[in-house]
Structure 1
Amino acid sequence: MLQHFQYHPLYKDKRIPGWTFSFYFSGKRLEGIYHQDGKIDWTSEAPDTSHENNLKRQLHDLMLYHVYDQR
């Protein structure tokens, strides 16, 4: 389960899409960039491959809720 999820605009001009995110998973801090097309680039060490797809699904859900559903 993701804990302490945070996101911030990637650019000062908030109209330009792109966000940085961070969260904790299994006691490890993970960070990355979420692009408008849903692509995720990990800027920290990537999660274990056994958890990566599940974490990406959770990230997509969180970003859809926080970024797109709040407009």
Structure 2
Amino acid sequence: MLQHFSFKPMFAGGSLPGWTISFFYKNQRYTGDYMPDGNINWTGETPVEEEQVKKMIHELMIFHVYE
């Protein structure tokens, strides 16, 4: 489960191309850039369970950004 998930637009005005994300997973902080096509460019360490984490991020982004 992701904790303290946050996102903000990469550029002022909230227009694309993407969002900066941060969260805690298993007591470790991760950061990255979430792109409009769903790709994530990690700006720090990549989570060991990357595919599982990506699914959780996609669900959160769909709920908060695209709905």
TM range, normalised to the smaller chain? over 0.9
Instruction: Within 5 Å, give how 1:12-23 maps onto structure 2.
Output: 12-23=12-23
For 1:52, the equivalent position in structure 2 comes to: 50
Give the TM-score of the pair, scaled to structure 2.
0.94
Query: Structure 2, unaligned stretches of length 5 or more?
Result: none
Q: Which SS does the other structure have where 2:33 is aligned?
A: strand
For 1:33, the equivalent position in structure 2 comes to: 33
AA partner of residue 34 (structure 2): Y
How far is the alpha carbon of 1:12 from its aligned partner? 0.9
Please say which of residues 34-43 and 13-22 is displaced more in the overlay: 13-22
Mapped contact 2:16–2:36 kept (Cα < 8 A): no
Query: What are the superposed Cα offsets for residues 8-38 of structure 1, whole Å, 9 maximum, x if unpaired?
Result: 0011131223000000011100000000000
Of structures 1 and 2, the larger Rg is shown by 1
Give the TM-score of the pair, scaled to structure 1.
0.89
Q: Which SS does the other structure have where 1:54 is aligned?
A: helix
Q: Percent sequence identity over matched residues?
A: 45
For 1:68, the equivalent position in structure 2 comes to: 66
For 1:10, the equivalent position in structure 2 comes to: 10
Runs of 4 or more above 4 Å deviation: none
Alignment length, in residue pairs?
67
